[in-house]
Amino acid sequence: MRNNATFVTKEQLKFLKEMDTWLANEPWQSEVELQTAMEVRTMITKIENKGYYYEGEAELLNVMREEYIKHKKSIKKKRL
């Protein structure tokens, strides 16, 4: 398996910052959730500093992205 680096775009950086803020502010229900959030936040910081990410990092970010989008949709539904 090749582990090619992908450079981060401005749009992706903006989304990473939004997701990092969400991870920092969400009231996590368990120690495992909190630990996972902290690890992802650390990874986001490394990606922001490097300017690129690898396939393995992308897979985890995609899972967290899905959770973040679900969260945003649930908030919109509650407001309606």
Q: How large is the average pLDDT for residues 52-75?
A: 90
Q: How large is the average pLDDT for residues 55-70?
A: 91
- Partner residues linked to 54 by β-bridges: 5
CA 63 to chain CA centroid, nearest Å:
8
Q: pLDDT digits over 3-25, tens only? A: 789 999 999 999 999 999 999 99
3: three-class secondary structure by DSSP? coil
Q: pLDDT digits over 42-51, tens only? A: 999 999 999 9
**Percentage of the chain lying above the pLDDT 70 cut:** 91
Q: How large is the average pLDDT for residues 23-42?
A: 94
